[in-house]
Amino acid sequence: MKRKRKRDGRVTCFGSSTYPVQARQMNRVPVSCPPGFQGRYTVQPGDTMFFIAQRFGVSLQALINANPQIPNPNQIFPGDVLCVPGVSQPGCRVPVSCPPGFQGRYTVQPGDTMFFIAQRFGVSLQALINANPQIPNPNLIFPCDVLCVPGTGQADCRVPASCPPGFQGRYTVQPGDTMFTIAQRFGVSLQALINANPQIPNPNLIFPCDVLCVPGAPPAGRVPASCPPGFRGRYTVQPGDTMFSIAQQCGVSLQALINANPHITDPNQLFPCDVLCVPCPRKGRVPKSCPQGFQAQYTVRPGDSMFSIAQRFGVSLQALINANPHIADPSQIFPCDVLCVPCVPVKVSPCFPVSSKRSSSEADPLFEEEPALAEEQETE
């Protein structure tokens, strides 16, 4: 049976109830990063380990060693998250830590000066100097030196007092960031990121130098063992989805969607690749039981008729009607009605058909005569 999919790969609300949907593989996210790492980087289309290492000024081998969750460095995929190790060239001055609310770390490039770097990040020269005591002479900086870039001062930097257990790390908001892009970068749900940061009262307003707690990476996609009879279809959660948005999209109540998915223990925390059972917006007619030896139960979809369903499963129209006495008028079926699909009749030929004595040329090659029977025939 074909399942309709949108071009972006999203499973439509009216999925098949006969075949389960398998969750796609999750992106690979490190549990933790080694001490002194520069930051986390989410792989983009076209990236390679070599290009990423060059971009951050680290050796290819150091980048590979920092990411044991990538078993084959030649195969990385968009959405994978990498730990970027600290710059470790001899003579490079790297801060042990940066002050709370800093914008980020910056690796000095040829031709840089403290003044130009301060201008680039929109901070005062003095603030940049004060944030980098590892640089004793601000007039002498060298390529591969690493600087802490302080916050811009556009708003008071909001820093959490503590982070919840099992969090991935702290992240300082950069210009252009949103809660949604940060959640995508770290492979967590938007709601989980919001819940982990109560110091941000309005998630739509974050500023450079705000510090966020990044919750732990999500578990593998949670798939229901089965869906209740008469359910509308299965839906695979996409980044940014919430129970509320899915309920609206599929035209069902939020409570009905929650009730149909007991494998989601916290409805406020959904993760990409979770699979949900989508209930019907109206109650369909469901048989109390199906006759012995039936093929499967089928949930009626828009455009279906008894005739088209019978053809799809290779059974006669009359057999399908007889197997579903709860459908009083077979010419009127509605989406979410559940039908019992009878087995396809099979003609079985006996192993030893009754016939006259065969000649040796007509002997069945699949069966050998017993020795006793062969002797009797010889005596004749």
Per-residue model confidence (pLDDT) at position 329: 92
Mind listing the domains of the chain with CATH numbers? 1-14+219-281 (3.10.350.10), 30-88 (3.10.350.10), 169-214 (3.10.350.10), 296-341 (3.10.350.10)
pLDDT of residue 318: 92
Q: Are 153 and 159 in contact (CB under 8 A)?
A: no
List Cα–Cα distances, 135 to 83, 101, 119, 218, 273, in angstroms.
26, 20, 18, 40, 47
Q: How many CA atoms lie within 13 A of 305 on its CB side?
A: 5
3-state secondary structure the chain: CCCCECCCCCECCCCCCCCCCCCCCCCCCCCCCCCCCCEEEECCCCCCHHHHHHHHCCCHHHHHHCCCCCCCCCCCCCCCEEEECCCCCCCCCCCCCCCCCCCEEEECCCCCCHHHHHHHHCCCHHHHHHCCCCCCCCCCCCCCCEEEECCCCCCCCCCCCCCCCCCCEEEECCCCCCHHHHHHHHCCCHHHHHHCCCCCCCCCCCCCCCEEEECCCCCCCCCCCCCCCCCCEEEECCCCCCHHHHHHHHCCCHHHHHHCCCCCCCCCCCCCCCEEEECCCCCCCCCCCCCCCCCEEEECCCCCCHHHHHHHHCCCHHHHHHCCCCCCCCCCCCCCCEEEECCCCCCCCCCCCCCCCCCHHHCCCCCCCCHHHHHHHHHC
């490039």: which residue's tokens? 109
- Give the separation between CA 135 and CA 18, rounded to whole angstroms: 66
User: Quick one: pLDDT at residue 87?
Assistant: 60
| Amino acid 163: pLDDT | 83
Whole-number Å distance between alpha carbons of 120 and 115: 9
Instruction: Match 């004749």 to its residue by tokens.
Output: 380
What is the predicted pLDDT for the residue at 90?
Answer: 52
Question: Phi, psi at residue 244, to the nearest 5°?
Answer: -65, -45
* Amino acid type, 284: G
pTM of the model: 0.32
Q: What is the pLDDT of residue 377?
A: 39
CB 82 within 8 A of CB 52: yes
pLDDT at 156 (0 to 100): 64
Look up residue 285 and give its two tokens: 């007619």
C-alpha to C-alpha distance for 211 and 198, rounded to whole angstroms: 11
Question: Which pLDDT belongs to residue 209?
Answer: 75
320: number of Cβ within 10 Å: 22
Amino acid 307: pLDDT: 93
Q: CA 184, CA 60: separation in Å to the nearest integer?
A: 25
Mean pLDDT by 10 residues, the chain (380 residues): 44 42 59 74 84 79 89 88 71 79 77 85 84 90 84 68 78 83 84 90 85 76 79 79 87 87 87 83 81 80 87 90 91 86 66 44 36 37
SS (HEC) of 317-351 = HHHHHHCCCCCCCCCCCCCCCEEEECCCCCCCCCC
For residue 70, the model assigns a pLDDT of 92
Q: What per-residue confidence (pLDDT) applies to 372?
A: 35
What lies within 8 Å, CB to CB, of 258 at 6+ separation is 243, 264, 267
